Amino acid sequence: MRDEELPTEADEIHDPMVDPEDRAMQLGAGEPDAPANTREADDMAADRAEARLTPREEWSPPEGSAPRLPDTAPAAERLAWLRQRLQMHVDQAIHRYANEVGLTPAQEAALHDNPNLLPAFRGSQIDGLAKDTIMQDPELGDVITAPDFFAEPDILTSSLPDWFDITTRDAWTAHLRRYQARYGGRARLLPTN
């Protein structure tokens, strides 16, 4: 892009992450203290977005859970610990789905037209709940979670060559086939049933 094509402060820059109502507020629709320019509007939007963020709480394992093994421990022992720890997150997500969270309003509405979507919606909710707590577990700093509906295993780790997938036992074979060529055969199931 040439210099003369770069946006200037006076140009409106559309930010797709900003809600249209927020953008209208940014640009001073009906406000006596309207921002003087887009930079000021963007700063105001960032302040409002930050105010909407909720702090995340560190996840604590159930009492009596084994602490993380040192990196010098045998790989098989570290794998067993990691698998057990990840399954704790999945089990907690299953419980939260069944007793607290359930489906989203959009998922419930979609079930009226297609009741066969229930297993997929259940899986999506459990996947998201588990990944949320995995990312808040201080013992799992080397774990990477893939976003839902992303064509990768659900969980990768930088400390072991293994990968993990959160799914049902019935769907496991399909997941294994989908990812094995790229990620290898060191796959581990984290069952949701």
Q: How many CB atoms lie within 10 A of CB 106?
A: 9
Side-chain-facing half-sphere of 21: CA atoms under 13 Å: 2
Mean pLDDT along residues 14-25? 46
The predicted pLDDT at position 14 comes to: 46
How far, in Å, CA of 69 to CA of 160, rounded? 13
DSSP-derived secondary structure letter, 61: P
The predicted pLDDT at position 30 comes to: 45
* pTM, to two decimals: 0.69
The predicted pLDDT at position 23 comes to: 45
DSSP-derived secondary structure letter, 5: G
Q: Is the pLDDT of residue 10 over 50?
A: no
Q: Is the pLDDT of residue 148 over 70?
A: yes
Report the mean per-residue pLDDT for the chain: 78
The predicted pLDDT at position 158 comes to: 85
Torsion angle defined by CA atoms of residues 25, 27, 28 and 34, in that order, rounded to the nearest 10 degrees = 110
Tokens found for residue 159? 């400390």
The DSSP element (H or E) to which 164 belongs, if any, is strand 163-167
CA 82 to chain centre: 19
Mean pLDDT along residues 154-180? 89
| DSSP calls for 60-78 | -PPTTPPPPPPTTS-HHHH
Backbone angles phi, psi at 145, to 5 degrees: -110, 140
Mean pLDDT along residues 143-167? 87
Q: Is 164 exposed, middle or buried (0-12, 13-18, 19+ CB in 10 A)?
A: buried
How far, in Å, CA of 43 to CA of 36, rounded? 11
The predicted pLDDT at position 84 comes to: 94
Q: Using an 8 Å Cβ cutoff, are 187 and 153 in contact?
A: yes
The label of the residue with tokens 């993380």 reads: 68
The predicted pLDDT at position 62 comes to: 78
Q: Who has greater pLDDT, 11 or 159? A: 159
Q: End-to-end CA distance of the chain, in Å?
A: 53
29-85 per-position pLDDT tens digit? 444 454 555 666 566 566 665 555 556 677 777 788 888 999 999 999 999 999 999
Mean pLDDT along residues 124-144? 91
93-116 per-position pLDDT tens digit? 999 999 998 989 999 999 999 999
